[in-house]
Chains A and B, each alone.
Chain A
Amino acid sequence: MSANLAISPKLSKEELDPDFTIRMIILGPKANVSENEIVSHMHLLDLPITVKWTCYGAMVSGKEEDVMVAINEVRKLDPYNIFTKSRGFPPGDPRRCRGHRYGPREGFHQMEAEYRILGDVGDALKNPKDVLIEKPKPVDVDELVEIVKESVENDDS
């Protein structure tokens, strides 16, 4: 029997509130804080929010104003290496939680792809500088013809 991957969620009254916000806090590869520190810091704020410790950082949910206060406070710990993103599904929602899906949710792959440049993004925010980027130009047609002729002559001889 195949697994049920479309489980009906039992959302709480709070989660059904339109003002309910879910944010992910993602630590860049050069972050000077740990997941533990940011979670503890948010708990110490004593705000009516739910904080979940995750492998990429933390997930925080609650009323939008409280969540934004928590995010602004936690960002102060390492402003250039703490990134945030909103999330659609509430924490632990069986439609997305990997515990029920037998594998990571789709958003995790995206985060993994973008995580590769987060270190450089943090550096660029900390020390902005103008960079001259030279893009490789295509080979000139005449030059290509010359190269082909030369290689043909070399093969013949």
Chain B
Amino acid sequence: MVKVAIYPPNSLVLGDLIERKGHTVLALQKAMSKKVRDPEIDSPPMNITEEDPLKGLKYAAIEVPSGVRGRMSVIGPLIDEAEAAIIVDDAPIGFGCIGCARTNELTMFCLRKKDIPKLELEYPTNRDETFDFVGKINKFLDTLDEEGGN
């Protein structure tokens, strides 16, 4: 079982395909779930703790907008944990936590520079491309089984 990071980090299709193959998906929702249900953090709605800016500074410099550092404090630890990655370019998804283009660029950069098995695809726009998309992801996940994530 390999921990697979995904981009977009909250994708339904990618998360589902990875879990079908028995791997662990490093989804953004799981990280957010811990934050929004933490009794230590005062609501509303998702206040940060003093540790979060420090975590964010590991991935982005102090001059970088605070929104990027705040988002990276959640997404960054997922990238650190990753043993494999699937990156989807041109995904028509940019809502909520991932609605920041600069964070998305930084996330993809961090995933690309990491020395782990990676699969980079384009988001499908028609039926044939979807078949190709699913086939490539499944083949990649099967190779992870053989390699054991190395």
- What is A's interface to B at a CB cutoff of 8 Å? 6-9, 11, 15-16, 18, 20-22, 26, 83-90, 93, 95, 105-107, 109-111, 113-114, 117-118, 120-121, 123-125, 128-131, 133
Q: Is the CB of A86 within 8 A of B27?
A: yes
Q: From residue A85, how far is it (CB to closest CB) to chain B in Å? A: 5
Q: From residue B70, how far is it (CB to closest CB) to chain A in Å? A: 15
- What is B's interface to A at a CB cutoff of 8 Å? 10-13, 15-17, 19-20, 27-30, 32-37, 39, 43-45, 92-93, 95-97, 99, 124, 127-135, 138
A87-B33, A88-B32 known; A6-B12 Cβ under 8 A: no
A-B contacts, 9 of them at CB < 8 A, read A6-B45, A16-B39, A18-B34, A84-B16, A105-B96, A120-B130, A128-B134, A130-B132, A131-B131
A88-B33, A120-B127 known; A113-B135 Cβ under 8 A: no
B97 proximity list for chain A (CB < 8 A): 106
Q: A118-B13, A120-B124 are in contact. List 7 more A-B contacts (CB 8 A).
A: A6-B43, A6-B45, A85-B15, A86-B30, A110-B93, A124-B131, A128-B134
Q: From residue B103, how far is it (CB to closest CB) to chain A in Å? A: 15
**Within the assembled complex, what's the spacing in Å between the Cα atoms of A45 and B67?**
43
**Within the assembled complex, what's the spacing in Å between the Cα atoms of A22 and B34?**
11
Q: Is the CB of A121 within 8 A of B37?
A: no
**Within the assembled complex, what's the spacing in Å between the Cα atoms of A12 and B34?**
15
Q: From residue B130, how far is it (CB to closest CB) to chain A in Å? A: 4
Q: From residue A151, how far is it (CB to closest CB) to chain B in Å? A: 31
Q: Is the CB of A131 within 8 A of B39?
A: no
B92: nearest chain-A partner, CB-CB: A113
Q: Is the CB of A129 within 8 A of B36?
A: no
A11: nearest chain-B partner, CB-CB: B37
**Within the assembled complex, what's the spacing in Å between the Cα atoms of A8 and B39?**
11
A10: nearest chain-B partner, CB-CB: B43
A110 proximity list for chain B (CB < 8 A): 10, 12, 93, 95-96
**Within the assembled complex, what's the spacing in Å between the Cα atoms of A124 and B12?**
16
Q: Is the CB of A15 within 8 A of B45?
A: no
B94: nearest chain-A partner, CB-CB: A110
Q: Is the CB of A83 within 8 A of B12?
A: yes
Q: Report, nearest first, the 10 A-B pairs whose CB atoms are least far apart.
A: A6-B44, A106-B96, A88-B32, A124-B134, A120-B130, A88-B33, A106-B95, A95-B45, A88-B29, A83-B16
Q: From residue A69, how far is it (CB to closest CB) to chain B in Å? A: 14
A86-B27, A114-B12 known; A121-B134 Cβ under 8 A: yes
A16-B39, A128-B138 known; A85-B29 Cβ under 8 A: yes
**Which of B17, B35, B131 gathers the greatest number of chain A CB atoms within 10 Å?**
B131
Pick from A85, A95, A117, A130: contact of B135, CB under 8 Å: A130
